[in-house]
Amino acid sequence: MKKILFLCTHNSARSQMAEGLLRELGKDKYQVFSAGTEAAIVRPQAIAVMKELGIDISHQRSKTFHRFFHENFDEVITVCDQANESCPVFPNAQKRTHWSFPDPSKAEGTDEEIMSVYRKVRDSIKQKIKSELLTKKLVESKIL
């Protein structure tokens, strides 16, 4: 089982959605965590758009990366540019990757326009997980 940590600035939307998506899509092949350079709350909009896919992240809590700093990870993935710049080196991570997604919490407009931004970011994260983690895993298992 691969152990993955998703990092974002506040661990409130992108990293939380990534955690929920990989946990659901990767089933029992991944042990998944998320954290932030700072802790905040899990945004209700992120919870709502994940619920649209049948994924419940309402039980997930925002936390800082400090609690994971000395753990072993197969991969640490930053999902925002700010976290990528301020993220320390995780000494026990085999690989560090950066995926850049816009911050949906900065969306402006009507409630529907804001939710549309959250959906777009969610779908982009889902596609990236499928192409970068799940597809690679299938290819690696076929080679072995």
CB atoms within 10 A of CB 115: 17
The residues annotated as belonging to the active site are 8, 80, 87
The DSSP code for 136 is H
Q: Give the gyration radius of the chain's Cα atoms.
A: 15
Burial-class residue 141 by CB neighbours within 10 Å (0-12, 13-18, 19+): exposed
